[in-house]
Amino acid sequence: MKNILFILLFIFLLVGISNVVTENELIPEDAIRIRVIAASDKKEDQELKIKIKNEVEKYLYEQLSNVDNINDAHIVIKNSLVNIDKIVKKYTDDFNINYGLNYFPEKEFKGIKYKDGEYQSLVITIGNGLGNNWWCVLFPPLCMIEEDTTDVEYRSFIVDTLNKYNS
């Protein structure tokens, strides 16, 4: 009986700890981000950004679906740049793709502040890149989080995903 109580207490502690997520746990230091910057804030430019984002994101998640470490993720992304270029060219000829260290401004999302700085990332800039942007974590794959989930589900998903890729 004591063993069962000890196991249950241990499980509750693990669940409790996994729901207490700090800013550093949300995005690992060695994560790879993706960012798509619209040409402007005009409706058609923002719609173009979303179309490109959706297709590139889907393509890269398919490419990275069986990748479980950061080094292999870098190789897959580098080898995918030609295809990413082809995807974006379907929508526009006025763009730039950069894979490497790129600047990200500070952002607050769901009460968590993400610091500005240089991050390993794939950045697609449409036109002059003067519009609002979309960004997320490409690897480990944290972009697939549903927008309408609760904070607890959001945090649990992130902890589970980080644990999968950190082991």
User: What are the tens digits of pLDDT across the range 69-87?
Assistant: 999 999 999 999 999 999 9
Domains in the chain, number: 1
Residues near 124 by beta carbon (within 8 Å), at least 6 away in sequence: 35, 36, 37, 52, 56, 84, 88, 95, 96, 97
Q: Look at residue 83 and tell me if it is in a domain.
A: yes
Contact 131, 40 (CB under 8 A): yes
Q: pLDDT tens-digit profile of 113-138?
A: 788 889 999 999 999 999 999 988 88
Q: Look at residue 143 and tell me if it is in a domain.
A: yes
Q: Look at residue 63 and tell me if it is in a domain.
A: yes
Q: Look at residue 166 and tell me if it is in a domain.
A: no
- Phi, psi at residue 111, to the nearest 5°? 80, 5
The HSE-up count of residue 143 (CA atoms within 13 Å, CB side) is 21
Q: Look at residue 145 and tell me if it is in a domain.
A: yes
Q: Look at residue 137 and tell me if it is in a domain.
A: yes
Q: What is the pLDDT of residue 116?
A: 87
More confident residue, 50 or 109: 50
Q: Look at residue 144 and tell me if it is in a domain.
A: yes
Amino acid in the structure at residue 9: L
Q: What is the pLDDT of residue 8?
A: 45
Q: Look at residue 4 and tell me if it is in a domain.
A: no
CA distance 139 to 67: 9
Residue 3 has pLDDT above 60, yes or no: no
Expressed as residue numbers, the domain containing 87 is 36-158
**pTM above 0.75?**
no
Could you give the percent of the chain with pLDDT greater than 70?
Answer: 69
